[in-house]
Amino acid sequence: MKTRILVKEGEYRLSKAFCMDPKIDAEELFCFLTGMDKVTLFLKAEEEVDSETEEKYMELIEKRASRVPLQYITGVQEFMGHTFKVSPQVLIPRQDTETLVSEAARVIRETPKEKLSLMERLRGAKEWDILDLCCGSGAVGISLAKIFSNVRITATDISGEAVKLAGENARALRVRAKFLEGDMFEPVKDRRFDMIVTNPPYIKTNMISILQDEIKKHEPLSALDGGRDGLKFYRIITDKAADHLKAGGFLLMEIGSDQGEDLRKMLKDSGKYTAAEVIRDLPGKDRVVKCRLK
């Protein structure tokens, strides 16, 4: 069978299984199997595929048709221009979360020079101690470390598998970071940071059942379930983050698109933080809440 026809058959089977992007996934799986890029795939469209490759390809197609996420099949996901290893033990990094990284990067870039210590002025930049809370694959903290040389990343997650995978990603991307296993702030105890960034679980428990099969059947529930109202972990963070921020330190949290006002009120009622700002993502939805310790 010719490459073009085989990939078209893969697309057809994925379409029948109601996969969201059947054409893209069919091509990605063929490239993953053969080591081709998209250009080579196009150039070799009329070449014959051997029977062994054809069989292995259709096995991958059937796996994807069963709604296993493409990223869990290939084992990787692109995020902020870098390739991260992923597994069913961690949430797949999404473009939405790039808003969190971009806003954190903007804060770091725009810190006024007059607020730097003498040693920081001599170095030419502020030294940032950053906590990536609920780090999962490590995508947020590692991405910040790839952008800036003046950040020190500590990352925590309750999942030992996630911590291990995040460490592998850091080594693969040549980033120095410390990864600690434990529940929320427990691993950092009395430490304080210049910035805390976090993408905690925030989906309402009763909404998980209506998510896509790829999410509800394959991604880790512990990384999705935010409790009855989706705000369980934000309450913990609002209460405890102040004990782990330096004076004037920043708190940035990814949120669901309908949670901005809830978080703004929660932070205000705590009395510990400055007025919260809600940042929107590229489609214009509320995505990040940012504030500072008073």
Tell me the two tokens of residue 285: 């939805």
- Dist CA 30 CA 3 (whole Å): 9
- Burial class from Cβ neighbours inside 10 Å (0-12, 13-18, 19+) for residue 262 reads middle
- Asked if 65 and 19 touch (Cβ cutoff 8 Å), the reply is yes
Q: Is 72 annotated as a binding residue?
A: no
Pairing of strands 277-280, 286-292: antiparallel
Direct distance between the N- and C-terminal alpha carbons of the chain, in angstroms, rounded to an integer = 66
- Dist CA 178 CA 163 (whole Å): 10
- The amino acid sitting at 265 is K
195 beta partners: 130, 250
Three-class DSSP category at 192: coil
Q: Which helix (H) or strand (E) element contains residue 196?
A: strand 193-198
- Dist CA 9 CA 11 (whole Å): 5
Q: Is 22 annotated as a binding residue?
A: no
- Asked if 45 and 3 touch (Cβ cutoff 8 Å), the reply is yes
- Dist CA 100 CA 224 (whole Å): 17
Q: Is 200 annotated as a binding residue?
A: yes
Residues 6+ apart with CB under 8 A from 103: 252, 279, 288, 290
Q: Please state the residue numbers annotated as binding site for substrate.
A: 199-202
Q: Please state the residue numbers annotated as binding site for S-adenosyl-L-methionine.
A: 157, 199
Q: Please state the residue numbers annotated as binding site.
A: 157, 199-202
